[in-house]
Structure formats: structure tokens, C-alpha cells
Amino acid sequence: MSNPILVTGSAGFIGFHLCQRLLSDGFDVIGLDAMTDYYDVTLKKRRHALLETHERFTPIVERLETPGTLEDLFATHKPAMVVHLAAQAGVRYSIDAPRSYVESNISGTFELLEAARNHTPKHLLIASTSSVYGANTEMPYREIHKVDTQMSFYAATKKATEAMAQTYAHLYEIPTTMFRFFTVYGPWGRPDMALFKFTDAIQNNRAIDVYNHGDMLRDFTYVTDLVDAVRRLMDAIPGKTPVSDADNLSPIAPWRAVNIGNGSPTKLTDFIEALEEVLGKAAQKNMLDIQPGDMPATWADASLLNDLIGPVNKTDLKDGVANFVNWYNAEYS
């Protein structure tokens, strides 16, 4: 039996889809998730229950930062690769509960890096976010741009994990890839994200909150397109040489950050229109100012991703929204 892949955050939205993909590709998968109550725990349990129908899936329900958890897990299972997705996500909640971001994102990632230092995997892959580009105005965002102006504490903790991982990659030769994900959507999506909230409100005749009066751009990325990119990046292990001028490979470590985004941003108002069309129903809208911490626009330059793994599928927004609505209706009807 080959060594398993460890996926942290396996009961989360992206982790669930990634585990499904890895299991169908024939890997043994260990999924660690604490089932935090940031959003509906039932949804997380339902995702894990589906994964548990695969005999090659081993669930572990624990917090990253519980002393000894990751060290014991690495010592026992010796994961070949690690995809670290567990985190306290969400821009707005980081205003209300910043400490939970320190605990999961800083302390949790530190424990993971320590375990990786003692039991080096072939490749460590860690979720960061497009939010690290913060107040940058040069678009599309490129990995070689400076990322020094985060606008939310969530983004600041993710920038910190990028820095922590770069240093561990340098000191202990741990090949590391950071993903900068751009607004991921699709079936099994997060209840705190716009598509879920809008669908739920429109179906139940409630008004939706439209921030910055709809003048926002988001580079919506369909979850299985993103998971396919993650799967292929697992084989793109950073070495000593940049792959192209777009590469931000560290000069002192086998470490790089890669945008995973569609590369074609959509206006929030167009996104809402696509959803209204799929639902066959108009939304009632509360037009509101931008919220503290929010970025008015995100837009990925995906050329480094292309240089590393070649072209990635781009699901049409309307198809992706329809897939989400079909799942939502089946799940919540």
C-alpha cells in the first residue's frame, strides 16, 4: 500500500471535493477536520459521511492545534503529500472573531509545519487566498506582485502562513506550494458565501444584501475546475528553477504561490442576474455600502498556473450556478 495523502479541512467545501477526486483517482486519503461551528455542522457531517463510504478514506475529527495530534498522525501514517485546507475562512467574520483566525490559521498551520519538519512529505500544499492582494490596484493580480497591504485580518493570517511556510521550506527543504484561491463556488458550497445566501433568500422571498451597490468584481472559480488544478499541482513539485517569468519561486527555498482563478471577473450584478435566470425569479435587493475588509475587485492572472500544469477547464458561470441550485434544491427541499 502506498503512503496516503493527508487532506486537512476534509469536511469543508473544497476539502470534500478534493477528497472525492483523490479517492476516485485511487489514492488512500486521511481527512482531518475539527467540524468547527462557524457554519452548519450538519453540512460538514454530511460531507464526511459521504467520504466515509469509501473504504480508502480515514476520517480524523480533531483540531490542528491540539498538541500532539499532527505529530502523531505524521509519525503513524507518513503521508506522501499533504494538502492543508483547514482554516478559519471568511473575510467578514474576522472582524467579529479575530482570535479564531489566530488559533486555526496561525497556530494550526504552525503545528502542521512542525510535523512536516519532522516527517518531510514529498510536497506540502497550503491554501492561501486572493485576499492577500488586498489594496493592490494593478490587475489582474500576478504572483510576482508585492502583497503587503491586506485589508482584512483573515487575509493577514493567510499572508502570515505564506511567510511561515516559506521559512520552513527554506530551513527544512520542504517543497511547498501555496494556492491563492479566487472566490470558489459550486455544489456543497459554504452557507456564509454569496451564492448560498442569495439562493436561500430568493427562494424564501427574503431580500438579498448587495454590497458596494453591486459595484464589485469577483473572479468566480468553479469548484471542480479548481480541484482539478489542485490535483495536477500536486505533481508540480517546486525545485530550484523558476518555470517562467511569471514564477514567484522563492530564491532561497522550494516554495511558490500560485493563483487558482478563472481569469475573467464577473460583476456582482451580472452574477445576481445569472442566478435570477436560473431560479426564474427576481431578487429583492438591499443596496448597501461596501463592508469593512472587503475588496472591491479580484482578478487572477492565471499564466503561472498554465505554465505549471497547462490549460484548466473553465466552467461557464451560468452552468456552475445551475449545478449549485440543483444541489441546493435536492439538499434543502
Identity of the residue, 149 or 244, whose beta carbon is nearer to ligand NAD in the bound complex? 149
Cell of 235: 505533481
> Which stretch in 27-35, 208-216, 285-293, 311-319 sits in contact with ligand NAD by CB under 6 A?
27-35
Q: Which is nearer to ligand NAD, 47 or 123 (CB)?
A: 47
Choice from 19, 22, 30, 34 touching ligand NAD (CB under 6 A):
34
Quote the CA–CA distance of 187 and 315 in Å, as a whole number: 13
Identity of the residue, 184 or 275, whose beta carbon is nearer to ligand NAD in the bound complex: 184
Catalytic residue among 133, 154, 168, 222: 154
Please confirm, yes or no, whether 154 is among the known catalytic residues.
yes
> How many of the other CB atoms lie within 10 Å of CB of 288?
12
Query: Which grid coordinates belong to 20?
Result: 472525492
Provide, rounded to whole angstroms, the least separation between the CB of residue 126 and ligand NAD.
8
Q: Does 159 bind ligand NAD (CB under 6 A)?
A: no
Least separation in angstroms between CB 8 and ligand NAD:
6
User: Which residue of the chain is nearest ligand NAD when measured via CB?
Assistant: 12
Neighbours of 241 (CB within 10 A): 7
**Which residues lie across from 81 on neighbouring strands?**
5, 123
Sole binder of ligand NAD in the list 123, 159, 190, 256 (CB under 6 A): 190
Which of 6, 31, 65, 308 forms a contact with ligand NAD (CB under 6 A)? 65
317 contributes a contact to ligand NAD by CB under 6 A: no
Q: Is 299 exposed, middle or buried (0-12, 13-18, 19+ CB in 10 A)?
A: buried
Classify residue 209 as exposed, middle or buried by CB count within 10 Å of its CB (0-12, 13-18, 19+).
middle
Q: Which of residues 95-134 bind ligand NAD (CB under 6 A)?
A: 104, 108, 127, 129
The answer to the question of residue 33 lying near ligand NAD (CB under 6 A) is: yes
Task: Report H helices in the chain.
Answer: 13-24, 41-51, 69-77, 93-96, 98-101, 108-118, 153-172, 194-203, 223-233, 268-279, 303-309, 317-332
Q: Applying CB under 6 A, which part among 4-12, 204-212, 242-250, 277-285 lies near ligand NAD?
A: 4-12
Across the beta sheet with 57-60, the strand order is 57-60, 29-32, 5-8, 81-84, 123-129, 176-181, 255-260
DSSP-derived pairing of the beta strands 217-218 and 266-267: antiparallel
CB 280 → ligand NAD: shortest distance, Å?
26
Q: Minimum CB separation from ligand NAD for residue 105, in Å? A: 8
Closest CA to 218 of 278, 145, 162, 141: 141
The answer to whether 302 contacts ligand NAD (rule: CB under 6 A) is: no
Q: Is 169 in the site for ligand NAD (CB under 6 A)?
A: no
Q: What does the binding site for ligand NAD look like in residue numbers (CB under 6 A)? A: 9, 11-15, 33-36, 44, 63-65, 85-89, 104, 108, 127, 129, 181, 183-184, 190
Question: Which residues are marked as active site?
Answer: 154
